[in-house]
Amino acid sequence: MPKRAVNRERPTLPSRSGPKPTPKNDLEEARARLHVSAVPNCLPCREKEFSDIFGFVESKILDGTGGCMYISGVPGTGKTATVKEVLKILEAERDDGNLQDFKFVEVNGMKLTEPRQAYVEILKALTGKEATADHAANILNKMFTVPAPRSSPVVLLVDELDLLWTRKQDVMYNIFDWPTKEMARLIVLAVANTMDLPERMMIKRVASRLGLTRMTFQPYTFRQLEEIVASRLKGLQVFDSDAVQLAARKVAAVSGDARRALDICRRSTEIAESRTEDAGGEAVVSMSDINAAVEEMFCSPKILAIRNLAVQEQLFLKAVVAEFQRSGIEEADFCKLYDQHQTLCRFEGIHVPTMTELSAICYRLGSMRLLLTEPGSRDLSMRIRLNVSQDDIMYALRADIPS
Amino acid sequence: MVKNNHQEDANSLRNHVKVSEITSHDRRSNLTPTKRTIATPSKFNSQIALSPSLLESRIASPRKHKLGISSPKKTPAKKRIAPSAAKPSLVDPDFNPLEETQRILRLRISQVNKPPVISGYEKERKQLYDLMKRTATTGESNSLLLIGPRGCGKSMLIQRVVEDLHSDVAVKENVQLVQLTGLLQTDDKLALREITRQLKLENTVGDRVFRSFAETLQFLIEALKKGDQASKPIVFILDEFDLFAQHKNQTLLYNLFDVSQSAQTPICVIGVTCRLDVVELLEKRVKSRFSHRQLYLFNKLTLSQYRDLCRSYLTLCSDFPDQDFADTWNKNIQCLLGEVSVKDILERQFSLTNDVRGLITLLTYPICQVNAAHPRVTAADVVTSFKLISTDTKSAMLHGVSTLELCLIIAMKHLTDIYDGEPFNFEMVYSEYQKFAQRRSGMQVYEKPVVMKAYEHLQTLELIKSHAGGGGAQVQKEYKLMSLLVHPSQILDAIQKYPGCPTEIKQWASQSIC
């Protein structure tokens, strides 16, 4: 057996050949800045949340005590980015010598294969040792409960907290129990999506240890989204100001997710580029580009899909609608649909497909999820439902609309 | 007789080859209209059009060895010379044009070779190409979903784009491709192993990947995190993307999308799926990290494009070694496609499915029928092929059951009619059968165990199925509730064609309620 030639510490990926080209024009520069990964140094519109978290962590470090904070909010509202920014400032302070030494550990529930791996990750970040989950839990327990002088405070960020849920909730319990220990000096920042997670999922003794220091990140309003985009584009004249507002309003109406707003703006720069490719000259992203990008990202393709189906497939959808209207129930047996389809075919004067062909059609529509079907082994007694509204089907199949 | 005719056909074709050798060059100059349309696919602004010359060139060289055709006389080099320099029959005395035709056509329909060139989807192709190229050159991370019904050319589009990317050396050097399939990588563990294997990371030795699942995940995340704008971009292609969304917690998708949304190794995640509602399958946090770029592909073929496609699948192209044979063949195909019955069948097939796969299924049988005794594709072949495709499998199955079993099926049909779709059990069927056999016919009345055997045979054929709420395993088999899985029209259809069906049974079957 070959010996493991494994460099455990530094896994690397091959690097690219040749340097990366620098952005050629304003549009490309804007695209690079609008990428979600290009997090700015100072997050706009989250000043209050920033100062709250900063105050909390700083005071705990200064006091030499431990504590928990629960941060919630829908995805894309800047939770993780804000927390990381706080820690970045604190680390800068520490390096300047204005603040006592502390360690920052980060665990993300989604990046673990199972909840107990959290122990392994925390231990690895604190001491660099590798251990099994049980062993790591023991070491950590000892570390936080046995008083050790001169130990520095630890700030633990637990992202995607809901995934650390287990039946006995021992992982959550431990994480929130350690800060209450006198000697631990552990500050836990727990981040999750739902506001009522402690009440809904946690048993009482865990929720009680989590405490009441909570913070909610509200979805961005359209003004805030506009400001975020504007702050990233500072100094560049590529966007029509109304265009940014349109994108911000569209996103704020749906989710208030900053990632979506940035993605839409980035996509619209691409559209603008391809639009002005032939014409030449400086491209400015206009309202129509934003509109095209929004359409592309939010539109439902189902009507287009129905229009591009084969004739018999369209007829089958009509048969489903007809059968639903006849029976008044939004579910029908395949057997009944076959009869209905036969009638429609005779009515239209086209060949009646055999049962085999029709079931193939049915499965094809099922695989696209225009229909919801049961497993094919149920055959004639298979129940079929629509995954589109009946109005959509009738609208898509109306003859007077050019496809 | 028929065989003789065919042989004559073949001979005449060969003779024709020899006679018309002299005129071959003239012929080539005035090409048939078919070819002209093929040469300029843009003319019929089709969504998908084959360009046979490209198809041919692919077939010509690389597959040779794999197919085991290693006869030195058929080397590609000679082939290229053949049509231009000398008369083929002189160069290659035992070159069999028919065999060659067969090989070419079979390779086309079996899609062993690269899929045909597409001239549709221009916009989509450009968008996909731009996206992947930007990842390779500027190190921009992206994610995209390619959505379209089965058989509309999603994988083909990706394959073409990847080929285009690889043709540019500067881009090729700067991109790493990782291809995963939801059907093979059924859980995150297997997928992660496959990723580290394809990336050739340090924890792989040869084709084996070490470390446990949790370690592999951390290792991969760490590796991706270590990378920055200077590291080589990776393009992940996730085939059957909807199956990845069914993994536990969607860990893999979360991590891939998270890397694409943060300043780590530049990656481009491309998901390929046929489900239109795939974005709704994603968890909220995964969905937020996905950039919501979606490309939709649909079958936009029109009937005339479908016909052209059919023609381009069947015609031989201009670099076929034996040009005269090719000309005759193509003329024959032209005639074939002009026939009413073939037109009708193409239209019917098109009305059933408008994708290319349906066409290929239809053409498989005629192409496989071509041999020395039957040297050309006839309309009858196409008709037979369509008949084979569209046979109703259940009535075909009913042709093979015994008379007693047929009687039982009819009895069940009556029961279903009378009780309006309610399930039945064996006793009911048996009494129904007895009523018929004793009163109306002079047929032998079988005893109960024999009938039971027939009943169980029908059950194994899955012509009847135990009813969903029909009791558990405790119920005796005579009283188990069953329902019939044959449609009345199929029964009537089968009885019409049942060999030697007694008249009483026919009458009994056609009575609506007895």
pLDDT (tens digit per residue) in B232-279: 899 999 999 999 999 999 999 999 999 999 888 899 999 999 999 999
SS3 A237: coil
Residues A212 and A228 in one domain: no
What CATH number is attached to the domain comprising A323? 1.10.10.10
Is B164 in contact with B311 (CB distance < 8 Å)? no
- The per-residue b/e assignment along B254-275, b for 16 or more CB within 10 angstroms, e otherwise, is bbbbbbbbbbbbbbbbbbbbbb
Domain boundary among A195, A216, A237: A216
| A13: nearest Cα among B215, B259, B231, B178 | B231
A308 is a domain residue:
yes
pLDDT at A41 (0 to 100): 86
Residues A32 and A167 in one domain: no
- What is the pTM assigned to this prediction? 0.85
Closest Cβ opposite residue B276 in set A18, A76, A369: A369
All residues of chain A having their beta carbon less than 8 Å from the beta carbon of residue B220 are 11
Residues A138 and A205 in one domain: yes
Is B223 in contact with A13 (CB distance < 8 Å)? yes
Residues A59 and A114 in one domain: yes
A312 is a domain residue:
yes
For chain A, list residues with pLDDT below 70: 1-11, 149-150, 279-282, 399-403
| Best residue in A6, A35, A108, A113 for a mutation probing chain B (most B CBs within 10 Å) | A113
Tokens linked to B220:
């991969």
Residues A290 and A339 in one domain: no
A201 is a domain residue:
yes
pLDDT at B91 (0 to 100): 53
CA-to-CA separations, B182 to A297, B128, B464, in angstroms, rounded = 24, 21, 34
Tokens linked to B473:
């395993």
Segment B220-229 mean pLDDT: 82
A385 CB contacts (<8 Å, ≥6 apart)? A330, A331, A371, A372
A262 is a domain residue:
yes
pLDDT at A283 (0 to 100): 74
CA distance A107 to chain B (A): 11
**In chain B, what is the greatest distance between 2 CA atoms, to the nearest angstrom?**
90
Task: Give the percent of chain B with pLDDT over 90.
Answer: 41
Inter-chain Cβ pairs, chain A and chain B, closer than 8 A? 216
pLDDT at B512 (0 to 100): 66
What CATH number is attached to the domain comprising A168? 3.40.50.300
How would you write B188-234 as a 3-class SS string?
Answer: HHHHHHHHHHHHCCCCEECCEECCCHHHHHHHHHHHHHHCCCCECCE
Does the ipTM exceed 0.90?
Answer: yes
Got the DSSP string for A214-244? EEEEPPPPHHHHHHHHHHHTTT---B-HHHH
A402 is a domain residue:
no
Residues A288 and A363 in one domain: no
- Lookup result for tokens 């974005």: B279
Looking at the structure of chain A, the number of domains it has is 3
φ, ψ of residue A169 in degrees (nearest 5)? 55, 35
Tell me how many degrees the CA angle A373-A379-B362 measures, rounded to the nearest 5.
90
pLDDT at A11 (0 to 100): 64
| B367: nearest Cα among B66, B111, B7, B93 | B111
Which has the higher per-residue pLDDT, B193 or B50? B193
Q: What is the mean pLDDT of chain A?
A: 88
The whole domain housing A364 covers 304-396
All residues of chain A having their beta carbon less than 8 Å from the beta carbon of residue B232 are 13-17
pLDDT tier, B371 (very low <50, low <70, confident <90, very high otherwise): confident
Q: Which domains does chain B have, with CATH numbers?
A: 2-76 (no CATH), 122-296 (3.40.50.300), 313-390 (no CATH), 394-513 (1.10.10.10)
A279 is a domain residue:
yes
Closest Cβ opposite residue A369 in set B205, B275, B483: B275
pLDDT at B112 (0 to 100): 65
Which has the higher per-residue pLDDT, B438 or B407? B407
A16 is a domain residue:
no
Segment B383-407 mean pLDDT: 92
Per-residue pLDDT at B129 exceeds 90: yes
Domain boundary among A187, A216, A245: A216
Domain boundary among A298, A326, A341: A298
A75 is a domain residue:
yes
Residues A55 and A198 in one domain: yes
A193 in contact with chain B, both atoms CB, cutoff 8 A: yes
Cβ separation A4–B205 shorter than 8 A = yes
pLDDT at B113 (0 to 100): 64
Segment B318-347 mean pLDDT: 91
All residues of chain B having their beta carbon less than 8 Å from the beta carbon of residue A117 are 214
All residues of chain B having their beta carbon less than 8 Å from the beta carbon of residue A338 are 487
Range with lowest mean pLDDT among B183-197, B337-351, B466-480: B466-480
pLDDT at B63 (0 to 100): 40
Residues A389 and A310 in one domain: yes
| Best residue in B128, B216, B256, B352 for a mutation probing chain A (most A CBs within 10 Å) | B352
Residues A149 and A245 in one domain: no
All residues of chain A having their beta carbon less than 8 Å from the beta carbon of residue B262 are 36-37
Cβ separation B276–A301 shorter than 8 A = yes
Residues A292 and A339 in one domain: no
pLDDT at A333 (0 to 100): 92
Instruction: Please give the Cα distance from B61 to B387 (Å, whole number).
Output: 36
Residues A187 and A270 in one domain: no
What CATH number is attached to the domain comprising A266? 1.10.8.60
Tell me how many degrees the CA angle A49-A51-A55 measures, rounded to the nearest 5.
120
pLDDT at A156 (0 to 100): 95
Give A239's DSSP letter. Answer: B
Cβ separation A12–B293 shorter than 8 A = no
Cβ separation B277–A387 shorter than 8 A = yes
All residues of chain A having their beta carbon less than 8 Å from the beta carbon of residue B352 are 310, 312, 353, 357, 360-361
Residues A212 and A241 in one domain: no
